[in-house]
Amino acid sequence: MKKINFYKMSGSGNDFIIIDNRNNIVDENGLSNFIAKVCRRKMAVGADGIILVENTDRADFKWRFFNSDGSVAEMCGNGARCVARFAYLNDIAGSNMSFETLAGLVKAEVIGECVKVKMTDPLELKIDDTIELKNGLVSISSINTGVPHVVIVKDSIDVVDIVKIGREIRYHDQFSPDGTNVNFVCHIKDNAIAIRTYERGVEDETLACGTGAAAGAIVMANKMKLDSPLSVLTRSGGYLNIFFKEKEGQYYDIYLEGDARIIYKAQLWEDAWKDDL
């Protein structure tokens, strides 16, 4: 029976299965089905996504990132921090590294259990746009921080129906055909905000989202004239730190910093992905 070594890692509550695939140990045939199967909670390992570490001539390594439904994502901030620590611990890269993603080259620095990642520069910032939902017009902002995000500012995010509203916006014609992630943010105090995120591909609320934290921080910095860095309280209870520079409304040199925890190292058996009996 085939066995695949992997790490289970968590970045601020966003959990991932990471596989060293430099020797092509993962079968390309039926790959999306394999990913969806092993990401099932209770039936397999369970995760928000899978990261395959592979060879490239452009950087220390390249990744392929997949959401838990098997779909491809261009970028994932929390996944980037986890894969960086994975690469460092497995002698794939030094403590300062770069790796190739569909969103471009990403630079990372491993500092113990903490990782700081330089994100791609954000695109298409729109502040105070509107969207027509079933219950009427809603004020939104949007930005692409490697993947598209909608940001909705609230006085409180504790009682928001994240899944219902998030799913309606995620599949809205305004963001078709690829859809969008949806974030709800509120100001806590000083340079601290809280965030909740509905993630496309997972199709549910996740405990954290790195690109979402960056999106929420930039929108709140713009709307409230907040300076870098911003501390972002995620649903897991942990904080992500977002660093940035701004000039004439343009945001750049975005860094995401937070924990990248190793949960365990193990082997996947075929039982985890074979067809149900």
Active site residues: 76, 209
> What distance in Å separates the CA atoms of residue 5 and residue 21, rounded to the nearest whole number?
10
**Angle (CA) 40 43 45, round 5°:** 60
Contact between residue 148 and residue 117 where contact means Cβ atoms under 8 Å apart: no
User: What type of residue sits at position 187?
Assistant: H
> What distance in Å separates the CA atoms of residue 110 and residue 89, rounded to the nearest whole number?
10
The helix (run of H) or strand (run of E) holding residue 210 is: helix 210-224
**Angle (CA) 64 93 89, round 5°:** 90
How far is CA 12 from each of CA 72, 145, 213, rounded to the nearest angstrom? 21, 18, 11
> What distance in Å separates the CA atoms of residue 236 and residue 107, rounded to the nearest whole number?
25
Q: Exposed (0-12), middle (13-18) or buried (19+): which is 262, by Cβ within 10 Å?
A: middle
